[in-house]
């Protein structure tokens, strides 16, 4: 996601100590942790509501089709099925 190396992190920490001050960094980190935890909970709650909606609406079969969760999905057969009409049009035969 973010491509930070050790030198970049050390530079950010040094600037943070100079700008914020060493006494306020623990409180800032605690607040940042709370925000991250709250965002994770919001993401979890949203996904749970989505799962409940899918279950209540009996849309799980549609979800499986979209996510290709079928165990017997044959990609080559699907490709051939899609390519067959295209090849027939290229050959000039319809049928």
Report DSSP letters for 54-66, one per residue.
HHHTT-HHHHHHH
pLDDT tens digit string along 17-35?
Answer: 899 888 998 998 899 999 9
0.75 exceeded by pTM: no
Q: For residue 50, name the pLDDT band (cuts at 50, 70, 90).
A: confident
- Where do the H-state alpha helices sit in 1-74? 6-20, 25-56, 60-67
Is the Cα torsion angle 24, 30, 34, 39 positive or negative in sign? positive
């Amino acid at each position: 996601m973010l491509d930070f190396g050790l030198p970049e992190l050390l530079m950010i920490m040094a600037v943070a100590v100079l700008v914020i001050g060493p006494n306020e960094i623990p409180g800032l980190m605690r607040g940042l942790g709370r925000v991250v935890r709250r965002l994770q909970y919001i993401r979890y709650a949203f996904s749970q509501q989505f799962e409940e909606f899918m279950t209540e609406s009996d849309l799980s079969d549609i979800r499986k089709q979209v996510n290709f969760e079928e165990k017997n999905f044959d990609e080559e057969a699907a490709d051939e099925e899609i390519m067959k009409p295209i090849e027939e049009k290229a050959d000039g035969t319809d049928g």
